[in-house]
Amino acid sequence: MAQEYLTLNRTNDKMPIIGYGCWKVEENPEQVVYTAIKNGYRLIDGAAVYGNEIGVGRGINRAIKEGIVKRSDLFVVSKLWNNYHNKAHVRAAIDRTLKDMELDYLDLYIVHFPVPLKYVDPAVEYPGPWFINGKVELEKSPMHELWAEMEKLVDAGLTRNIGISNFNAQLIMDLLTYAKYKPATLQIELHPYLQQTPLVKWVQEQDIQVTAYSSFGPSSYTVFSESAKTATPLLDHDVIKSIASKHGKTPAQVLLRWSIERDVAVLPKSMSEERIKSNLHVFSFKLDEKDHDEIKKLDENLRFNSLFAYNIDIPLFN
């Protein structure tokens, strides 16, 4: 399969533009990740907070042991959770991830949220919680100290690249004033209901690649978000279905292709092997100008992964 890539700053590593997203892969993550790799995925996007890194690592190592891939063929991503922002805990956090996944290094390690939660010893609870005694408790762990520790992880060979997620432009601008290694990627919620065009354009101009999560819109958030319950699922939206029919593709393929044509990486997740295969097959067609115009009209600035959806009163994206 012909795979397309985005080139990362500093290392010039080739990051596959389509990866397999591991959020909410709760049942048999080893088999699911193994199946994704067997069917051509080379980017595996995980996180400590997903609670499945042991299984994800087993799936990766099974594929390597069977000779389906070499470790160097894969692009493995994980994320630093909020309770480990203090400079004293960053190294221990990636060490735990590497131990759980039985890997020697990551290809990309991302600051998951710019929210420095109070440290909780992993021996007590891992990953740490949002709430302690019913409250969100922040600690004084500034981003400039955290980012310096992230850079040390690169120097130690524990991750090849470092990145950020859920950051706004103001915080990125500040980070760029002191970063020795600028972020390789920014991962954000991105779909036709939340197109974030100015942010995507500006970040790409800074030589930072953008990765979309939740490319299919509200489907993953219906248990958390009232707006996700009431929004028309993008996979069932008449505009998306019409474009899919015109090209002989699935609505999911249209949604993924829309991001790829913006030079934005995508992380589709499915538990079905048929859909896992289908989601990779987006390089044989192109959306035309009319398609893009119709999709552009769907933008409602509608965010589903708001912290408010989890009863966390932090206006992170305001």
Q: pTM of whole model > 0.75?
A: yes
Going residue by residue through the chain (318 aa), what tens digit of pLDDT does each one get? 345 999 999 999 999 999 999 999 999 999 999 999 999 999 999 999 999 999 999 999 999 999 999 999 999 999 999 999 999 999 999 999 999 999 999 999 999 999 999 999 999 999 999 999 999 999 999 999 999 999 999 999 999 999 999 999 999 999 999 999 999 999 999 999 999 999 999 999 999 999 999 999 998 887 777 778 889 999 999 999 999 999 999 999 999 999 999 999 999 999 999 999 999 999 999 999 999 999 999 999 999 999 998 999 999 998
Q: Is residue 50 annotated as part of the catalytic site, yes or no? A: yes
Hey, which residues does 213 pair with through a beta bridge? 189
Q: Which residue in the list 20, 50, 193, 221 is annotated as catalytic? A: 50
Neighbours of 127 (CB within 10 A): 22
- Collapse the DSSP code of 246 into the 3-class scheme (helix H, G, I; strand E, B; otherwise coil) and give the result: helix
252 DSSP 8-state letter? H
Question: What would be the CATH architecture of the domain defined by 12-309?
Answer: Alpha-Beta Barrel (3.20)
281 is in an annotated binding site: no
